[in-house]
Amino acid sequence: AQKVTQAQTEISVVEKEDVTLDCVYETRDTTYYLFWYKQPPSGELVFLIRRNSFDEQNEISGRYSWNFQKSTSSFNFTITASQVVDSAVYFCALSPGGGFGNEKLTFGTGTRLTIIP
């Protein structure tokens, strides 16, 4: 069985501070995929990034960066110089490799991030 843990239920930071959202996963698969999704206050769910288990390079996209470490089974998400528009619930998710269909995609319970102006 696979599991995704987002231990931080809620985080509040003052605007322009850096913030890291933690994601720890459990899986027995050697090939798997990790995802981050964002749910802003308007309610829609937006895909942010995908990472496969063979690629441990960190990813940076503007103020966003992702740190994937297989040794600690973590896929953490850092926002640099946070802005009010970053306020949202962020979900980490895990999918096994191979096969067809996303029915085995497992979501964490989400971290609610509030950026205080």
Partner 1 sequence: NAGVTQTPKFQVLKTGQSMTLQCAQDMNHEYMSWYRQDPGMGLRLIHYSVGAGITDQGEVPNGYNVSRSTTEDFPLRLLSAAPSQTSVYFCASSYGQRNSPLHFGNGTRLTVT
Give the Cα separation of 11 and 22 in Å (integer): 11
Q: Scanning residues 33 to 52, which ones bind partner 1 (CB under 8 A)?
A: 33, 35, 37, 43-47, 50, 52
Does 54 engage in binding with partner 1 (CB under 8 A)?
no
- Asked if 64 interacts with partner 1 (CB under 8 A), we say no
Residue 80 DSSP class: S
Task: Provide the terminal-to-terminal Cα distance of the chain, rounded to the nearest Å.
Answer: 41
Nearer to partner 1, 62 or 99 (CB): 99
Q: Is 55 exposed, middle or buried (0-12, 13-18, 19+ CB in 10 A)?
A: exposed
Dist. CA 51–CA 56, nearest whole Å: 8
Mapping DSSP to helix (H, G, I), strand (E, B) and coil, where does residue 85 land? helix
Question: Residues 1-40 vs partner 1: string with x where CB under 8 A?
Answer: --------x-----------------------x-x-x---
70 is a contact residue toward partner 1 (CB under 8 A): no
Q: Binding residues for partner 1, per CB under 8 A?
A: 9, 33, 35, 37, 43-47, 50, 52, 91, 95-105, 107-110
